[in-house]
Structure 1
Amino acid sequence: MKEQGKIWMNGKLVAYKNAKVHVLTHALHYSTAIFEGIRCYNTPRGPMIFRLPEHVERLFKSAKMYSMKMPYSKKEISDGIIKTVNANKLKECYIRPIAYYGHGVMGLTPTPNKVEVAIACWEWNTGESSAGKIHGARCKVSSWLRIDSRSQPMQAKAASNYANAALARVEALRDGYDEAIMLNYHGKVSEGSAENIFIVNKGEISTPPLNAGILDGITRDSVIKIARQEGLVITEREIDREDLYIADEVFMTGTAAEVKSVSEIDNVTIGDGKVGDITRKLQHAFYEASRGKDERFSEWFTPVQ
């Protein structure tokens, strides 16, 4: 992350070193924040933000679910994102807009405090040689259950949800794995700590439905649309833990991960332990689509310049 870069804060671009919040910021103490993770790719037509309207729409839906009144319109946030990428002179980057209750009244109730918004971006290594791309990731089913909508709105991309995910991720890394897979309160597969999950059996793809306690991932949606365009059969259904072990292929999707292969779960080898044919096909197809090389998905891009 460039320390000489710019961050958009409450409508103004400020120097990286001056993008500060007070130690008594409400969100720091009570996780009263919602955010997005967005990618900008360098395409044949120049830098383009991938599915910007969908990300901004989800940000506002998250705010509504948490009764957070956004101080800016969707257009103002979209323009702020574009302005931030341009100010940092980046052709490819990860973008993080975040809305949070700021410094003011301390105590559990956030609404007396002002909602503040910041947008940052930084260069992101796509990790072509990391686990999940060249070779499959090793995962474990976490001992931590995925919270669901009986506890808080899981369709919101809220900071508080990620405390649960962080517990699972740290446990997996501590135990020598690359990633965690979380079950919900019903014992069904939910998602990874920061990715949606898919399994492949006999050429057919399955993924947990939204009511399994998963985030409605935009990369997940992109991969589903790409798969169907490629003539692949894909269904949303409940998935049992045992289904993971006997699957021909398992892969995960997310803004940061893109399409990540899983080769092992709880020390059980998935398929032949290599990146599967369908996973490889979707990795390539998503790469082409997200880099603006597949005209079928040209509407997914917003130009930066």
Structure 2
Amino acid sequence: MPSYAYFKKKIVPLEQANINVMTNFIHYGTGVFEGIRGNWNKQKRELYLFRLKEHYERMLRGCQILNIDIPYTMNELFDITIKVTAKSAFQEDIYVRPVAYKSSETLGVRLHNLDSDFFVFVFPWGPYLDTDRARCVVSSWRFPKEVPRQKLTGLYVTNALAKTEAVSGGFDEAIMLNSDGYVAEGSGENIFLLKDGKLVTPPGSDGPLIGITRNTVMQIAEKELGIETVERHVDRIELYSAEEIFLTGTAAHITPVAEIDRRKIAGGEIGPVTKKLQKLYADIIVNKNQKYSSWCTPVYKKK
């Protein structure tokens, strides 16, 4: 199936969605992006976009930071996203990438006196981490906790450096510390530890993106398993003695961590709490759990 994009107010084949090389956001990172999963339910033959509303709410908060004013209401963004996804007609898991950006074809470091625009495209995408149990390493690259914790296009260079450092060293993923030495996040995921029967995750003040999958896990852990999540500082040394560790993200879903800095976590196996959360999450995102059906937006609207 071909991929499509909504670009310059039209739905076009992805290869036709091309940006002028002078576009401001290419040079200065003056854009806001989101990542939205579409999850294919084979039995229902339906594709469900997960927590569409929350993703666009976060994108619009990022737009406020960068003075990006796009001429679409929230409902219009939903409608555009569903239409371009339906046009692509995939019957498999997909990824949706909306971007709001400074579209003026001019150079200069500023946010004022620049036009804004929006595009969104769709493509098939399976697992983000090519493993069911990630081997991680604490990165030498520190995450600057003072930056705005939104998905701004200019903020991911340090994450990219950390990811490549980890993979070059034979690991699957990097764990990043902030400038104070506390655990912040993975290069593209939030991190959770199981300690003394509770989930522990770094607070927003320590630098992590306040992820939508992070929020999902916190809710279902409490409602379905009776497990509380504590947001607090996490020291690097705590990672080594955690009962279980897993990463969460729109792309990564819930990925167990088997090893950090060559120290095995949960004996290198998937821990029982992580397994339960994975099963709950896998059912929820394809609308198999009706308690959470409001989080799932059908693309093809089959019954």
TM (normalized to structure 2)? 0.93
**Residues 72-126 of structure 1, C-alpha deviations (whole Å, 9 max, x = no match):** 2212211110011011012331100011112422111143222121110111113
- 2: CA distance between counterparts of 1:109 and 1:103? 11
- 2: CA distance between counterparts of 1:291 and 1:57? 22
For the 8 Å contact 2:20–2:105, the answer to whether it is kept is no
For the 8 Å contact 1:146–1:182, the answer to whether it is kept is yes
Q: Secondary structure at the match of 2:267?
A: coil
- 1: CA distance between counterparts of 2:128 and 2:154? 27
Q: Is 2:223 aligned against 1:229?
A: yes
Name the counterpart of 1:146.
Answer: 143
Cα deviation for residue 180 of structure 1 reads 0.3
Q: Is 2:95 aligned against 1:94?
A: yes
- 1: CA distance between counterparts of 2:139 and 2:67? 31
**Match for 2:192 among 194, 198, 201?**
198
Q: Name the aligned partner's letter for residue 208 of structure 2.
A: I
Cα deviation for residue 164 of structure 1 reads 1.5
Q: Name the aligned partner's letter for residue 48 of structure 1.
A: Y
Q: Is 2:151 aligned against 1:176?
A: no
For the 8 Å contact 2:202–2:231, the answer to whether it is kept is yes
Q: Where does the alignment leave 5 or more consecutive residues of structure 2 unmatched?
A: none
Name the counterpart of 1:269.
Answer: 264
- 1: CA distance between counterparts of 2:29 and 2:20? 14
**Match for 1:242 among 237, 240, 255?**
237
Name the counterpart of 1:7.
Answer: 5
Cα deviation for residue 229 of structure 1 reads 1.3
Q: Secondary structure at the match of 2:47?
A: strand
Q: Secondary structure at the match of 1:21?
A: coil
Cα deviation for residue 127 of structure 1 reads 6.5
- 2: CA distance between counterparts of 1:137 and 1:289? 23
- 2: CA distance between counterparts of 1:215 and 1:161? 11
1:44-59 alignment runs, 5 A limit: 45=44, 46-59=46-59
For the 8 Å contact 1:203–1:278, the answer to whether it is kept is no
Q: Secondary structure at the match of 2:96?
A: strand
Q: Name the aligned partner's letter for residue 229 of structure 2.
A: I
Q: Name the aligned partner's letter for residue 5 of structure 1.
A: S
User: What percentage of aligned pairs have identical amino acids?
Assistant: 38
Q: Secondary structure at the match of 1:59?
A: helix
Q: Name the aligned partner's letter for residue 54 of structure 2.
A: E
- 2: CA distance between counterparts of 1:104 and 1:279? 47
TM (normalized to structure 1)? 0.93
Distance 1:171 1:127, change over 3 A: closer
Name the counterpart of 1:71.
Answer: 71
- 1: CA distance between counterparts of 2:283 and 2:197? 22
**Match for 1:220 among 214, 224, 227?**
214
- 2: CA distance between counterparts of 1:297 and 1:14? 33
Q: Name the aligned partner's letter for residue 179 of structure 2.
A: Y
For the 8 Å contact 1:34–1:98, the answer to whether it is kept is yes
**Match for 1:283 among 272, 278, 281?**
278
Cα deviation for residue 287 of structure 1 reads 0.5
Name the counterpart of 1:160.
Answer: 154
Name the counterpart of 1:257.
Answer: 252
Q: Secondary structure at the match of 2:58?
A: helix
Cα deviation for residue 24 of structure 1 reads 0.9
Q: Is 2:59 aligned against 1:62?
A: no
Q: Name the aligned partner's letter for residue 19 of structure 1.
A: A
Cα deviation for residue 212 of structure 1 reads 1.1
Name the counterpart of 2:39.
Answer: 41
Q: Where does the alignment leave 5 or more consecutive residues of structure 1 unmatched?
A: none
Q: Secondary structure at the match of 1:81?
A: helix
Q: Secondary structure at the match of 1:261?
A: strand
- 2: CA distance between counterparts of 1:5 and 1:218? 25
- 2: CA distance between counterparts of 1:47 and 1:126? 16
For the 8 Å contact 1:199–1:248, the answer to whether it is kept is yes
For the 8 Å contact 1:26–1:102, the answer to whether it is kept is yes
- 1: CA distance between counterparts of 2:182 and 2:128? 30
Q: Secondary structure at the match of 1:272?
A: helix
